[in-house]
Structure 1
Amino acid sequence: MNRLLENKVVVVAGAAGLLGSRVVEQLLQYGAQVIATDIDCDRIEQQLKKLGVDTASTDINVQTLNVLDKQAVRTFFQSLDSLDGAVNCSYPRNKNYGAHFYDVDLDSFNDNVAMHLGSAFLLTQQCAAYFEKKRQPLSVVNMSSIYGVVAPKFDVYNDTSMTMPVEYAAIKSAIQHISRYAAAYVGNSQFRVNCVSPGGILDGQPSEFVSAYQSHTHGKGMLNSKDVIGPIVYLLSDLSNHITGQNLVVDDGFTL
């Protein structure tokens, strides 16, 4: 495996998730030293072991971090001696998340936006504060989505109980702009903030949905979580040293 991230220290928030755990696994293979964080350390280790990751390795440090706890997030970044990159794969939401448009309660909408978008803001803000203190190169990668770029193609949800949550569209589009805002506010080429916007990722969706989704792509259809890693690695690496405030779309043509 290419050691493109050799000796780089990278924080991954949401490391227990479908995408986050895969990001950790791949960053390790690219030579990074990874600080894997989530609200439940046991779940991080369970997910990583499924991927064959040795969590006892000196290249990985598993830590508890609640991205909704502003003091915990601040303390976490203040405790770091060295940091070269951060990837935010966290996805906090409440139990009502995923309702159809007319069934979304305003309080629930506000709650989900506050949790997901608010935590993305907090992590980005604290990365910026860390950079201002340490003044060493730092690349931040926020996870957006194709539905932060274009309106949903609702026909892919026909004949399923699924929908594309309105909160998700609002949050993911805003994450792109928060990333640009932070990059512009700091205004230093050594501090970079970018987004990756994946298409749909396979996670046990109904076959009807998977088939309908594929018809809007150039043949790949739904992505595997590993398909999203390349752009993340690129943005963390020195190959992208002068790329900031950008959004890389990975969707096999879905948004065309």
Structure 2
Amino acid sequence: MSELFDLSGKTAFVTGAAGILGHGFCRVLAEHGAAVALVDLDEQRLSAVADAIRSDVAGADLLPVVCDVTDEESVKAAVDRTVSHFGGIDVLHSNAAGKSRDIKAFFADFEDYDAQTWREIMSINIDGMFLVAKAVGRQMIAQKRGGSVIMTSSVYGVVAPDPRIYEGSEYMGVRIGSPAVYSASKAAVIGLARYLSAYWGPHGIRVNVLTPGGVESGQNDTFRANYASRIPLGRMAERSDMYGALIYLASDASGYVTGQNLVVDGGLTAW
């Protein structure tokens, strides 16, 4: 069975590689034998992530690639560079997402939400998914050897946020909630993945969604306690809780799985 999870000889293209979850996603893919293109807009953080993985994983075969997922030409150039370097792409983990450059605008009340902020988030969270899937999917079809596409959504693309969780809660010193644009964009990711699973099925390309619940990433104690009280397992997720699900979806272990949404939420959506 262990051979089913082996990614040796495969290349993974991971967007959002320098983000909250991206570093660990790239590391665990490398640990399981994949060559990894680390794709992100922040060149400095991307370089630091690549260096950290190389120090943790002996022989890690990594390619940092600077890319703006909202720009079609930038995405095409990133795919071309990856294919030129590694010879192809077998796994796409479309993981890039954004919160807006103005954190207060991102967490504004719905009635006061700025349309430009809405468009900014949508351009990353769903337009970027579309552009990356289009470019990588074209490459996978040309290779004629199938592939695995994994898109990161959120539990709030499945259910509405509970406002009680956010009473007294802060993120980086700012009062927080969960804006409608986040839920709408993450729900759209699930819809896009299901469409593509049927559309690309004849090419042997599997398309699935990895949906994390709330992950600890700088929230205050009040938020963590409020959130944990709504979880059957009694805690927020740690980043490492997502890694097994990713390797399952990326590898031959899920060879007959497509069009599915794998929710890793500690049981939140069971209630």
**TM-score category of the 2 structures, normalised to the smaller one:** over 0.9
How far did residue 223 of structure 1 move?
A: 0.8
Q: Which residue of 2 aligns with 1:59?
A: 61
What's the counterpart of residue 87 of structure 1? 93
Cα distance change, pair 55–241 in 1 and its aligned pair in 2 (3 A): closer
Question: Structure 2: where are the runs of 5+ without partners?
Answer: 170-174
Q: Which residue of 2 aligns with 1:32?
A: 34
Equivalences for 1:13-24 in 2 at 5 Å? 13-24=15-26
The Cα shift of 1:186 comes to 2.3
Decide whether the 8 Å contact of 2:96 with 2:124 is kept in 1.
no
Task: Name the CA shift for 1:229/1:49 in 2 (closer, same or farther; >3 Å).
Answer: same
Equivalent residue letter for 2:61: D
Name the stretch that deviates more: 34-43 or 198-207.
34-43
- 1:102 is matched with 111
- Residue 246 to residue 49, structure 1, CA distance change in 2 (3 Å): same
> Structure 1: where are the runs of 5+ without partners?
none
Matched AA of 1:86: L
| 1:220-231 alignment, distance < 5 Å | 220-231=234-245
Q: What is the rounded CA distance, in whole Å, between the counterparts of 1:82 and 1:171 in structure 2?
A: 29
Q: Give 3-state SS (helix, strand or coil) of 2:36's partner.
A: strand
- Alpha carbons 2:38, 2:50 under 8 Å: kept: no
Could you say what secondary structure the match of 1:216 adopts?
coil
Paired with 1:174 and 1:227, the residues of 2 have a C-alpha distance of 24
Cα separation, 1, equivalents of 2:261 and 2:238: 19
User: For residues 53 and 36 of structure 2, what CA distance do their matches in structure 1 show?
Assistant: 15
Q: Distance in 2 between matches of 1:109 and 1:131?
A: 32
The 5-angstrom pairing of residues 125-204 of structure 1 reads 125-160=134-169, 161-188=175-202, 190-204=204-218
**SS state of the match for residue 43, structure 1?**
helix
> Alpha carbons of 1:73 and 1:56: their partners in 2 closer, same or farther (altered >3 Å)?
farther
Of Structure 1 and Structure 2, the greater helix share is in: 2
Residue in structure 2 matched with residue 44 of structure 1 by the alignment: 46
Deviations along 1:18-48, one digit per CA (max 9) or x if unpaired, are 1001101111111111111111232113235
Structure 1 contact 214–222 (Cα < 8 Å) conserved: yes
TM-score after normalising by structure 2:
0.87
Q: CA RMSD in A?
A: 2.0
| Aligned residue number for residue 236 of structure 1 | 250
Deviating beyond 6 angstroms after TM superposition, the runs of 4 or more aligned structure 1 residues are none
- Identity, in percent, stands at 31
After superposition, the Cα gap between the structure-2 partners of 1:41 and 1:214, relative to the gap in structure 1 and judged at 3 Å, is same
Post-superposition Cα deviations, 1:230-255, rounded to whole Å, max 9, x if no partner, equal 11110110011111111000011111
Q: 1:219 to 1:140 in 2, by over 3 A?
A: same
Offset, 1:219? 2.7
DSSP 3-state at the match of 1:255: helix
Contact conserved, 2:68 with 2:75, CA < 8 A, in 1? yes
